Amino acid sequence: MDYSDIIEKDLNAIFPEDSGDIAVEASRYSLLAGGKRIRPKMMFMTYEMLGADDKIYDDVRFYASTLEMIHTSSLIHDDLPCMDNDDLRRGKPTCHKIYGEGIATLAGDLLLTEAMVRLLQISCLKPEYALAGYKMAELTGVRGMIGGQSIDLSSENLQISLDKLYELQAKKTGALIECAIVTPAYLMKDNDPMILPLLQKLAAHIGLAFQIQDDILDVISDAETLGKSTGKDERDNKSTFVTLLGFDEAVKHLDMEIEGAHKVLDELECKGCKVDEYRKLVDYLKTRGA
């Protein structure tokens, strides 16, 4: 099943259209500015892979849109002139191009905070979900996405090692992908205890495949197809999988991650998981043009 409409509907309902609050308006602009919604989609894919338990369906929706709020918050701040200085995101002007840098900074704070409000709120109502929320917050923080962004900022104009690049990407891109893939397992009570570590391995492969392909697309794609600026990595003298490994070797590493993901999916399949949709996603990561 394709959850695109559900995801857009849920994101649309988070903030009122006529809030009269400029930071809410800016948050809403970025939250609804399109995008592939790959994280919420992966969360629904795990939900289906684990058997699509009706009892947690509404909660999966809740966590899926919460995760997209966190992701959007990081995009708004990453696009600021003091960070990556991007004018274009998902084919549209970035938040600060429309609302100015002050409001955009605050909109990022707002989305991040309101995501955490949601995690704390559901932990009040359903104490058994507190661990899911804690893990999502932890993977957002210094041990996850923000930690990765910190390595990224401090490596500007420096050639970093391949190991450091792996750490950077595992945190910066990988952490929220892990959130997407593991959260439904936290919401279900009666999983095989081996499922969670397998989902974490799957997330690591998919996160890296996603990032390596991103680096490849920065070289071979054009802005119109990609919906964001291209050729930035070389212009900014950034260490990427392409600049560190060379183009052909980067493609090989992408293949290795895709192969690794399929092997984990074999194991999950042996445990009774329905892995077909994940196999399609993994193959799409190889061929995607944007």
Q: By CB under 8 A, name the binding residues for its own copies.
A: 21-24, 73-74, 77, 80, 82-83, 100-103, 105-106, 108-110, 112-114, 116-117, 119-121, 123-124, 127, 130-131, 133-134, 137-138, 140-142, 146-147, 149-151, 153-154
CA 169 to chain centre: 11
* Tokens describing residue 221: 């794609």
What minimum distance in Å lies between the beta carbon of 59 and its own copies?
A: 16
Distance CA 90, CA 100 (A): 18
Closest by CA to 215, choosing from 171, 180, 181, 249, is 249
Beta-bridged to residue 88, according to DSSP, are 93
What minimum distance in Å lies between the beta carbon of 14 and its own copies?
A: 11
What minimum distance in Å lies between the beta carbon of 117 and its own copies?
A: 4
What minimum distance in Å lies between the beta carbon of 27 and its own copies?
A: 8
Of 105 and 230, which CB lies nearer to its own copies in the complex structure?
A: 105
Of 33 and 83, which CB lies nearer to its own copies in the complex structure?
A: 83
Of 140 and 183, which CB lies nearer to its own copies in the complex structure?
A: 140
Closest by CA to 27, choosing from 88, 87, 91, 115, is 115
Collect all residues with Cβ–Cβ distance below 8 Å to 244 and sequence separation of at least 6: 159, 160, 162, 165
Of 171 and 205, which CB lies nearer to its own copies in the complex structure?
A: 171
Of 26 and 261, which CB lies nearer to its own copies in the complex structure?
A: 26
What minimum distance in Å lies between the beta carbon of 36 and its own copies?
A: 23
Collect all residues with Cβ–Cβ distance below 8 Å to 248 and sequence separation of at least 6: none
Of 27 and 211, which CB lies nearer to its own copies in the complex structure?
A: 27
* HSE toward the beta carbon, residue 104, CA cutoff 13 A: 24
User: How many residues are there in the chain?
Assistant: 290
Distance CA 105, CA 290 (A): 27
